[in-house]
Amino acid sequence: MRNLLLSLLFFCLTPFTTKAQKLEFNGEFLLFREAKTKQPVLIINDSLVYKGNAMKRIAFKHTEYPAKLQEYKFFNIDTKTYLVHEGCGPVLEYRNDSIVRIDNSFLHRNQYRAVRFVYNKEIYFYGGYGLFTFKNILTKYDFQTREWIEVRTFSEVPMETRESAFSYLINKDLYVFGGNTKDENKTQCGKQLDSTVWKLHLPTMKWTFKGRISGDSNLKCAENKLVNNNNQDNLFFMTDAYYEIFLNKNNIKKSELNFCPRIISNYFEGNNIICVIQNELNKTQYFTVFPINLTKGKPLGTYCFIVPLTADYKITYTLLCIVIVVLFIVLYFHKKITSKFKPFHGILYNLKKELFLYKSKPITIFDDQEKRLLLFLLEQNNQFVSLNNLNQLFENSNQPETISATVKRREQTVSRLLAKVSKITGIDEKELIVERKNSEDKRIKDLKILPNLLKIE
């Protein structure tokens, strides 16, 4: 009820608070700013043309153009005014109170609700929706060829497709946030994107992540109504409160909202909104001009706009690092504990009793040479040993003999030991010995006998 009364008061007082004529009408329309004269132009139903704050009717002069004018968006470049189809493609110029088509293109119908901006006196479209797909492409109108071209951009991570995004341009940087993207579960409509803010540095065409919109102000871009500011100095959101975003200062000023008229189309001239508003009572539309501060109430606070990743997620990432470190420590000790208590299925040697055991039972079938070999292997701690070292183990110190006799004794002892261990454990003999070439002399073999099967109790 309060909003309704305030709206009624607004409709009654608006003609007295501005010098503009209150022009009521029904039907389709296009409202834009003529750059040369800085005056508003309103074209109704592609036939009636009104110009200036006083809305003086003038003749409608034009060449042929595709689609309806209500589907076009205006761009001011120096003293020239261009009208571009909202889906990208046709480009018209408004000059000398006439509309002239200047492009060689066609109706793309490919980038509806795109981010539209001017940089270096060129017109750009980013993202949008068309042909059943959401876009993340950047296109530019080439005034020389009179055609549209795609501009390549760069990013360390793939950019999400988006339409109906919010944006603002500061010097050579385009900031983009919010909007909708594809929802895999709902093909007919998209899903809202989060509060991530991206920056496109236009000289290099490189995207970088700037941070997220602070939650302190409770500003939720996906649920709010944006009043576009063609000057790009600040942005206005009018919903449960009045939000004014100052881009260069990176802050949001929040105030009470006196009322929120249903603004259908608008642009700014200084501190005034030049707009078309729909009357909620009789559903008629009318042109009007009023100060933006007319909707602004009591100040509620000033908040940060973009929170950098390091500030917003410092605690989260610190906790994540702590969790990872703790996890590694737990896994390390778990591995050590489990390996310590893991049952051993090999041959144990009891130092006190000088006995070899298998499954707690003494092994009595090993001869002296085999026992000596087993003790030698225990000293090696499951490492490779060279054949030369093994040969020394089997040399006869009591009487001289040839190397062939020593090698034969070694081979026979190893062969008997492998056969007996295989019979005791059930492991194939081939798995009880591992060979490799010596790292220093490739002609010599290294052996690992009974790998992981010997242990001192």
Statement: residue 58 has pLDDT above 80: yes
Of the candidate ranges 68-82, 257-271, 318-332, 361-375, the one whose mean pLDDT is the lowest: 318-332
Statement: residue 430 has pLDDT above 70: yes
Residues 6+ apart with CB under 8 A from 58: 49, 50, 51, 97
378: left (phi over 0), alpha (psi -120 to 50) or beta: alpha
Residue 312: C-alpha distances to residues 210, 213, 316 (Å): 11, 10, 8
Q: What is the mean pLDDT of the chain?
A: 85
Reported confidence tier of residue 224, pLDDT bands at 50, 70, 90: very low
Q: What is the pLDDT of residue 311?
A: 45
Tokens of 262: 């249903």
Instruction: Please state whether beta strands 138-142 and 173-177 pair in parallel, antiparallel, or not at all (unpaired).
Output: unpaired
Higher pLDDT, 332 or 228: 332
Q: What is the pLDDT of residue 233?
A: 64
Statement: residue 219 has pLDDT above 80: no
Q: Is-contact 103 146, C-beta < 8 A? A: yes
**Residue range 225-252, pLDDT digits in tens:** 555 555 556 788 877 788 888 888 888 8
Instruction: Please state whether beta strands 361-362 and 347-350 pair in parallel, antiparallel, or not at all (unpaired).
Output: unpaired
CA distance 58 to 318: 66
Of the candidate ranges 61-75, 124-138, 344-358, the one whose mean pLDDT is the lowest: 344-358
Tokens of 408: 């034969």
Cβ-based neighbour number of residue 139 at 10 Å: 21
Among candidate residues 176, 178, 174, the one with its CA nearest the CA of residue 204: 174
Mean pLDDT of all residues in 338-351 = 74
The SS3 assignment for 347 reads strand
Higher pLDDT, 164 or 318: 164
What DSSP assignment string belongs to 7-67? HHHHHHHHHHHSSS--EEE-S-EEEEEETTTTEEEEEETTTEEEETTTTEEE--EE---SS
Statement: residue 134 has pLDDT above 60: yes
Dihedral in degrees, nearest 10, Cα atoms 19, 22, 27, 33? 0
CA distance 437 to 439: 6
Q: Is-contact 125 116, C-beta < 8 A? A: yes
Instruction: Please state whether beta strands 234-238 and 242-246 pair in parallel, antiparallel, or not at all (unpaired).
Output: antiparallel
> Using the 8-state DSSP alphabet, how is residue 144 labeled?
T
Query: pTM of the entire structure?
Result: 0.66
Q: What is the pLDDT of residue 312?
A: 44
Supply the Cα-derived Rg of the chain in whole angstroms: 41
Q: What is the pLDDT of residue 73?
A: 97
Q: What is the pLDDT of residue 62?
A: 97
Statement: residue 72 has pLDDT above 90: yes
Residue 248: C-alpha distances to residues 156, 216, 230, 342 (Å): 26, 19, 16, 65
Q: Is-contact 79 324, C-beta < 8 A? A: no
Segment of 16-25, 127-136, 190-199 carrying the highest mean pLDDT = 127-136
* b/e code 290-304 from CB counts within 10 Å (16+ = b): bebebbbeeeeeebb
**Residue range 369-426, pLDDT digits in tens:** 888 888 888 888 888 888 777 878 878 777 777 888 888 888 888 889 889 888 888 8
Mean pLDDT of all residues in 109-116 = 95
Q: What is the pLDDT of residue 63?
A: 96
Sign of CA dihedral 382, 384, 389, 390: positive
Mean pLDDT of all residues in 303-327 = 71
Q: What percent of the chain has pLDDT over 70?
A: 87
Q: What is the pLDDT of residue 329?
A: 82
Q: What is the pLDDT of residue 16?
A: 42
Q: What is the pLDDT of residue 318?
A: 65
Q: What is the pLDDT of residue 221?
A: 58
The SS3 assignment for 128 reads coil
Reported confidence tier of residue 341, pLDDT bands at 50, 70, 90: low
**Residue range 269-300, pLDDT digits in tens:** 888 889 999 988 888 999 999 888 888 899 99
Residue 243 CB burial class (10 angstroms; 0-12, 13-18, ≥19): buried
CA distance 356 to 207: 70
Among candidate residues 277, 275, 274, 242, the one with its CA nearest the CA of residue 256: 242
Q: Apex CA 278: angle with CA 219 and CA 109, to 5°?
A: 75
